[in-house]
Structure formats: structure tokens, C-alpha cells
């Protein structure tokens, strides 16, 4: 699908993967709306690129719809990329003290990392469905972000792994559901990507993960995620698939 002439929302658009995607889609000619809760960074990025920022909480229907409406005011919405992220609770299923992992932490992690992805997916799909079909009936593309932890979660990561596994599980059925509308759904499952999410520990993590990654021997780059997102959008035959972006890394148990 051609990117020029379409609008796009990037949820979590000021984060590591999100910002790189915003920049890439903007450079490719999309009318991009940065949708995030980080107003300071969002406004800064939008003003640098001359694009729009909308305060957007991925967990809220009203909020996501406001970002969608902003995008639709610029051009038909055909692209939705969700890269939102934040802290996830974890811990061993049964702690050293014998206590079971807290139910509340599981619920909030699933709410943030799975239910909110579903929220963005469903609202984006309904909005893209209103755009006029292009060649072969194509209306648009939705890109979700999972993690390789959705396949091989590490010790202490159960809630996050369960949520990401849910995103993986939604992908094919969403693509099937949306096929009559000409909307594709693809999920990217990154391995370890060096983003601001890691804060001050980024250098240490690079030293820790680098040697463990078969090739290239380094963490991934946000620009590599953005490059894949653009390829997914442009390649009409990619649909219902989860693409690992991990340098052949398979997470060990810990």
C-alpha cells in the first residue's frame, strides 16, 4: 500500500520504537499523528516535524478516538501502529516466601499490554473501514507490537509474557475478521531493542545482551523496527503474521 496520501496514528509515538516509526512514516509521506501520554516529548517531536500531537491514552476509547479523528481530518486513515509501553509487574509465580504472584499486578499488566492493544486495534479498524478502498479493495494496515517474550517468557515475566502472547494470538483472527474490509493486521515481536525505555541501564544491557544475540551481536535499533513497520505497510501480501525482529535471539529461562 502506498503511504503517501494516507494519515497514520502512532500510539506510543514518543517512545523509542514509536518515535522512530513517526519519523520514518513522516519521511515516507504519511500525515502522521503522534499519539502518546508524554505531552512534553509529543509536542516537541510534532513541532520539529511540523505534524500533530494528540494526548492519547491507549487504554481509553475516547482518547484513541480523538487521535483517530485528528488523523482523519488530515487524510484518510489507513495506518495505525501501536508501540505503547510502560512498566510491567512481574515476579515468580510462587515467591521464595511461598506467596503466590499478586492477582492485581497480572490484571494491570494485561490491561495495559493486551486490552489496550485490543482497544487501539478495534477503534483503528472501525475508522480505517470508513476510508475508501484502494487497489484490490485495500483500505489500510494495523501494526501491533508484541515481544519475543510472548513466545519464550523469562522467569519472573509471567504477566508481561501472557499479555504479549495475547497480542500474538489476536493477530491472525483480527486479520481474518477484517479481511472483508481490506484491512491487514501484522504484529512485530521485537527481541531486545535499545530504547529510552531502558534509561540509564541501556549501556549495561547492551553489554549483557550483545554477546548473547546470534547475529548481529548487539541489541536492535528503533530504526530497524520502523523500517519493518514501513515494509509491512507497503507490502500488501503481509497479513495475519507475527514477525520476530530479534537477530535470532531466543530468550533463555533467565
Give the footprint of ligand NAD on this chain (CB under 6 A): 11-12, 14-18, 36-38, 56-59, 83-86, 145, 147, 190, 192-193, 195-197
Residue among 131 and 195 whose Cβ is closer to ligand NAD: 195
Which of 53, 113, 151, 160 is an active site residue?
160
CB 252, min distance to ligand NAD, A: 15
Residue among 14 and 124 whose Cβ is closer to ligand NAD: 14
- Residue 160 annotated to the active site: yes
CB 133, min distance to ligand NAD, A: 29
CB 21, min distance to ligand NAD, A: 9
Residue among 18 and 76 whose Cβ is closer to ligand NAD: 18
CB 194, min distance to ligand NAD, A: 7
> How far is residue 184's CA from residue 172's CA, in Å, rounded to a whole number?
10
Residue among 37 and 49 whose Cβ is closer to ligand NAD: 37
66 Cα distance to chain centroid: 19
Q: Annotated active-site positions, please?
A: 160
Amino acid at each position: 500500500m502506498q503511504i503517501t496520501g494516507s494519515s497514520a496514528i502512532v500510539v506510543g509515538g514518543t517512545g523509542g520504537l514509536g518515535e522512530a516509526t513517526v519519523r520514518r512514516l513522516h519521511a515516507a509521506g504519511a500525515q502522521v499523528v503522534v499519539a502518546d501520554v508524554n505531552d512534553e516529548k509529543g509536542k516537541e517531536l510534532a513541532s520539529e516535524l511540523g505534524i500533530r500531537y494528540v494526548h492519547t491514552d491507549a487504554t481509553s476509547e475516547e482518547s484513541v478516538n480523538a487521535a483517530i479523528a485528528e488523523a482523519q481530518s488530515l487524510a484518510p486513515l489507513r495506518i495505525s501502529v501501536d508501540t505503547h509501553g510502560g512498566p510491567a509487574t512481574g515476579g515468580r509465580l510462587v515467591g521464595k516466601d511461598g506467596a503466590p504472584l499478586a492477582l492485581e499486578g497480572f490484571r494491570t499488566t494485561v490491561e495495559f499490554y493486551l486490552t489496550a492493544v485490543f482497544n487501539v486495534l478495534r477503534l483503528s479498524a472501525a475508522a480505517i473501514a470508513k476510508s475508501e478502498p484502494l487497489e484490490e479493495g485495500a483500505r489500510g494496515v494495523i501494526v501491533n507490537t508484541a515481544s519475543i517474550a510472548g513466545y519464550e517468557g523469562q522467569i519472573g515475566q509471567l504477566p508481561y509474557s501472557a499479555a504479549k502472547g495475547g497480542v500474538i494470538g489476536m493477530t491472525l483472527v483480527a486479520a481474518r475478521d477484517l479481511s472483508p474490509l481490506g484491512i491487514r493486521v501484522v504484529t512485530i515481536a521485537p527481541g531486545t531493542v535499545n530504547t529510552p525505555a531502558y534509561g540509564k541501564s541501556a549501556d549495561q544491557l547492551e553489554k549483557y545482551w550483545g554477546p548473547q544475540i546470534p547475529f548481529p551481536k548487539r541489541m536492535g535499533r528503533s530504526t530497524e523496527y520502523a523500517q519493518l513497520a514501513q515494509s509491512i505497510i507497503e507490502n500488501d501480501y503481509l497479513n495475519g503474521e507475527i514477525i520476530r525482529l530479534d537477530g535470532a535471539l531466543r530468550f533463555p529461562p533467565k
